[in-house]
Chain A
Amino acid sequence: MTAGTVFVKPSSTLDLVVRGRAQRASRRRLVMGILAASIVVVFAVSLMVGQTLYSPADVMGVLLGRDVSGATFTIGRLRLPRAVLAVVAGLSFGLAGVTFQTMLRNALASPDIIGISAGASAAASFAIVTLSLSGAAVSIFAIVAGLGVALAIYALSYKGGAAGTRLILVGIGIAAMLESVTNYILSRAGQWELQEALRWLTGSLNGTTWPQVLTALIALVVFGPMLLSRAGLLGAMQLGDDTAGALGVRVERTRIIVIFSAVGLIAFATAAAGPIAFVAFLSGPIASRLIGPNGSVLLPASLVGALLVLVADFCGQYAFGTRFPVGVVTGVLGAPYLIYLIVRTNRAGGSL
């Protein structure tokens, strides 16, 4: 970066570096500001627009706790929890996904591809179909299974240190196995349970209730800061395990804490909203494309995730003739980008 300025006075080199940093930091702030603003706007729109249209004044009234006839139920009970869960789940998926991608240094190594979502899904369909559970019990099953599967993948790929590539491939194998378990459970399901399980498996925000939102929110508050505070260590680990160790990162310990927190986020969000396809996968690459190489991508990716889920849910509800669950919309929108990303990653050999 400074190669061209070797013969210039040292002070002007310093100037260049300082100015470059300031520019990059301001671009980062700008992008994140725009993302946050878009989230607020889409959030507001999804509260106002629907079968019946409410004015911003009505929405504000409900939010402030006033009793507005009709709107209190529609907004307070139906639209608000749904929109809040969209934001919370999006933030969680985005953050956890980009953590995995950064740590494993591969854009394709997101939790939906390496088997963690598959574990949570298999457990949830078991709980719904075989044990006829619902609500919080299903969530607990999904969370425990998500953590267990992550642990199993880590243990199976551990062989004198857990190599990133082996972790990914073992994850793909585990995912295939768990999908067959899910299929088996679904093939034995009764009609009603099948509907319930399928709805859950595609990822849907329909019928969101406050308790669901609350558990996901608590998980985000607990695990989110844990991950964000380790953004610097993750950045060092992107240089490779040996280099990171030489720089003073305790690689294995950091990796375990990071995996635990990220899986926690994924599992709780999945328990509340189902495995919304590709959000964990897409947020990181989109965010890193937006902000460029300017510091940690964790927080921007999280914002991108929230925006994705909000927009996709809104489109799924009103943009098409049929009401699609949010998971189908993100899946179909995400697929072409996914393919573009594989092509690009393979050609460049880059990590994100």
Chain B
Amino acid sequence: MTQTIQRPDSGVATVRRPNRVRLLWLIAVLGLLAVLAVTSLVVGSRDVSFDDLLAGLRGSMDNLSQAAVVKRIPRTILAVIVGAALGLSGAVMQGVTRNPLADPSILGVNMGASLAVVTGIAWFGLSTATGYLWAAIAGAAVTAVFVYTIGSLGRGGATPLKLALAGAATSAALVSFITAVALPRGDISANIRSWQIGGVGGASFDSIQPMLPFFVVGCAISLMSARGLNSLALGDDLAASLGERVAVARAFAAVGAVLLCGAATAVAGPIGFVGLVVPHFCRLLVGVDQRWLLPFSALTGACLLVFADVIGRIIARPAELDVGILTALIGAPFFIAIVRRQKVRAL
């Protein structure tokens, strides 16, 4: 009964990877991230020459190109941080729920954070970045607990179908609450809309800074929970018999995931599907060992978000396409592919 969920990539060949292969992939992913970060600094409505890039990185703002580079530094950093947070939080959520479809946006956790922030703006005059952060994290935590609880009621525990439906239904409910809160307040609706669409475009060092402590703590908790998640993957009974305190391990990991996802949502608005796509992709590269999977998910998540940001700047020139829209367009077909690959029985 506890083994109703089968990881899509748990074929014998992919479970174990030699550490040499993993190290090679690690170097490759780090290299890719560096290339993408430089691209993100160079590409935009104004392309920048190499000399101007170097000058801009040193802080010089002598001409427009160098000023553009200086302007793009914080948004690149924010894309890296938010991508890493979302990728890592998705990987942890998939581990905690042992569910291949878990993701902050599918479980409605993003929307919970949104409702908390919107309510804060509308009713409690919330306007500081730190205020947004606490509200978003509280909203994310409440929603995560709620969705997981109602999704795991009844026969078979938290099956992917029940969790996904509970998440989708809760999101739908939260969206109508958001509309009801925001609609009568014409004066702040522009404020709320710009936050909801969010993205990484308007980043500055001032907006990144309050998020950093949450990001660091969330990362630390998530990475420390890797061993516990490895035990949980064996099933609750086996994990308990191996000496793992199942409930504690699960709660500890979930705290990390919620911190990361809430902080990312508070700064960049709801961005979907990064947490879904990235861990699946990483499992192909490094196998299912969480001690490797979690850091890889963080790095790959950062790559994906920087990539989406760059693409958004290229295809909609001179305007920009919000990253959240692009990640959903990339992620939803991926979601459908996972659903199609799963055995119906497992769903």
Contacts of A348 in B (CB 8 A): 154
> A243–B170 Cα gap in the complex (Å)?
33
Q: Pick the contact of A172: B164, B175, B321 (CB < 8 A).
A: B164
Q: How far, in Å, is A185 (CB) from chain B's closest CB? A: 10
> A347–B153 Cα gap in the complex (Å)?
5
A346/B150 in contact, CB under 8 A: yes
Q: State how many residues of chain A have any CB contact under 8 Å with chain B.
A: 50
A177/B321 in contact, CB under 8 A: no
Q: CB of B191 within 8 A of chain A?
A: no
Q: CB of B173 within 8 A of chain A?
A: yes
Q: Pick the contact of A166: B165, B333, B344 (CB < 8 A).
A: B344
**Which residues of chain B in 155-201 are interfacial with respect to chain A, using CB atoms and an 8 Å cutoff?**
155, 160-162, 164-166, 168-170, 172-177, 179-180, 183-184, 197
**Which residues of chain B in 28-60 are interfacial with respect to chain A, using CB atoms and an 8 Å cutoff?**
none
B169/A180 in contact, CB under 8 A: no
B154/A349 in contact, CB under 8 A: yes
> A48–B204 Cα gap in the complex (Å)?
57
Given the known A-B contacts A180-B328, A331-B179, A342-B150, are A187 and B172 also in contact in the complex, defined by CB atoms under 8 Å? no
Q: CB of A175 within 8 A of chain B?
A: yes
Contacts of A331 in B (CB 8 A): 173, 175-177, 179-180
Q: Pick the contact of A339: B150, B180, B321 (CB < 8 A).
A: B150
> A202–B322 Cα gap in the complex (Å)?
22
Given the known A-B contacts A173-B335, A328-B183, are A184 and B176 also in contact in the complex, defined by CB atoms under 8 Å? no
B322/A113 in contact, CB under 8 A: no
Q: Pick the contact of A113: B161, B169, B336, B344 (CB < 8 A).
A: B169
Given the known A-B contacts A176-B273, A335-B176, are A324 and B165 also in contact in the complex, defined by CB atoms under 8 Å? no
B172/A113 in contact, CB under 8 A: yes
B150/A343 in contact, CB under 8 A: yes
- Which residue on A lies nearest to B151, using beta carbons? A346
Q: How far, in Å, is A114 (CB) from chain B's closest CB? A: 8
B180/A332 in contact, CB under 8 A: yes
Contacts of B339 in A (CB 8 A): 157, 166, 169-170, 173
> A6–B185 Cα gap in the complex (Å)?
67
Q: CB of A163 within 8 A of chain B?
A: yes
Q: How far, in Å, is A112 (CB) from chain B's closest CB? A: 7
A173/B329 in contact, CB under 8 A: no
B183/A165 in contact, CB under 8 A: no
Q: Which of A106, A179, A327, A342 has the most CB of B within 10 A?
A: A342
Given the known A-B contacts A172-B106, A174-B336, are A165 and B328 also in contact in the complex, defined by CB atoms under 8 Å? no
Q: CB of B70 within 8 A of chain A?
A: no
Q: State how many residues of chain B have any CB contact under 8 Å with chain A.
A: 46
B168/A113 in contact, CB under 8 A: yes
A169/B329 in contact, CB under 8 A: no
Q: Pick the contact of A169: B164, B172, B175, B179 (CB < 8 A).
A: B164
Main secondary structure of the interface of A (DSSP, over half): helix
Convert A321-352 into 0s and 1s, putting 1 for each residue whose CB lies closer than 8 angstroms to a CB of B: 11011011011101110110011001111000
> A332–B155 Cα gap in the complex (Å)?
29
B328/A177 in contact, CB under 8 A: yes
Q: CB of B325 within 8 A of chain A?
A: yes
Q: How far, in Å, is A287 (CB) from chain B's closest CB? A: 19
Given the known A-B contacts A183-B322, A187-B197, are A346 and B176 also in contact in the complex, defined by CB atoms under 8 Å? no
Convert B305-342 into 0s and 1s, putting 1 for each residue whose CB lies closer than 8 angstroms to a CB of A: 00000000000000101101100110111011001100
**Which residues of chain B in 84-108 are interfacial with respect to chain A, using CB atoms and an 8 Å cutoff?**
101, 105-106
A174/B332 in contact, CB under 8 A: yes
> A174–B334 Cα gap in the complex (Å)?
11
**Which residues of chain A in 106-120 are interfacial with respect to chain B, using CB atoms and an 8 Å cutoff?**
106, 108-109, 112-113
> A278–B322 Cα gap in the complex (Å)?
29
Q: CB of B251 within 8 A of chain A?
A: no
> A108–B154 Cα gap in the complex (Å)?
15
Q: How far, in Å, is A202 (CB) from chain B's closest CB? A: 6
Given the known A-B contacts A184-B325, A324-B183, A335-B176, are A169 and B150 also in contact in the complex, defined by CB atoms under 8 Å? no
- Which residue on B lies nearest to A153, using beta carbons? B336
> A168–B153 Cα gap in the complex (Å)?
19
Q: CB of A188 within 8 A of chain B?
A: yes
Given the known A-B contacts A183-B324, A328-B180, are A156 and B340 also in contact in the complex, defined by CB atoms under 8 Å? yes
Q: How far, in Å, is B168 (CB) from chain A's closest CB? A: 5
Q: CB of A181 within 8 A of chain B?
A: yes
A176/B106 in contact, CB under 8 A: yes
Q: CB of B240 within 8 A of chain A?
A: no
Q: How far, in Å, is A288 (CB) from chain B's closest CB? A: 18
Q: How far, in Å, is A309 (CB) from chain B's closest CB? A: 15
Q: Pick the contact of A202: B172, B177, B179, B328 (CB < 8 A).
A: B179
Q: Which of A156, A202, A332, A346 has the most CB of B within 10 A?
A: A346
Q: CB of B347 within 8 A of chain A?
A: yes
Which residues of A are at the interface with B, using a C-beta cutoff of 8 A? 106, 108-109, 112-113, 156-157, 159, 163, 165-166, 168-170, 172-177, 179-181, 183-184, 187-188, 202, 277-278, 321-322, 324-325, 327-328, 330-332, 334-336, 338-339, 342-343, 346-349
Closest 6 CB pairs of A and B: A331-B176, A180-B328, A177-B332, A335-B173, A173-B335, A346-B153
